[in-house]
Structure 1
Amino acid sequence: MSVPKETSSCFKPAIYYYFYYFSYYFYYYYYFYSSSSSSYYYYYYYYYYYYYYYYYYYYYYYFYYFYYLYYFRY
């Protein structure tokens, strides 16, 4: 018993697009403040960007985990 490809990947594009747009948003903030003279904002947005990067990376697999638990219970 396997998960259909269409079903398992139906939410995948939305997750990826949201993640990439969100990461680019923080990337441009990181680039803007890195070019400025303030090193405080430079490091602030640098670590703020990577915090959300790993947060949505974790959320992606966390959602997959409960998706398969729900699917295979039948």
Structure 2
Amino acid sequence: MISNATILFTLVKNVDWVTFDSDIREYTIKRENLQEWYGKELSKVQNEDELRKLIQEYLEDENKVNQLLK
């Protein structure tokens, strides 16, 4: 969910939130919350490699992931 939301927010400038519906619960991720979580404005990402590195770095930290999805 986080990867997909990050990619969507990076590529589509007028998307402010996205909702994912799983069997367990529904998650809504807002652009502003995700950018705050990364500490980076997603529109500033220059290329796909930079985006993938950013996503991978943050997804490796389970505590950070739980913090975002609480």
TM-score over 0.5 for the pair: no
Task: Report the structure, 1 or 2, having the larger strand content.
Answer: 2
TM-score by length of 1: 0.28
User: Which has the larger share of helix?
Assistant: 1
Structure number, greater radius of gyration: 1
TM (norm. structure 2) is: 0.29
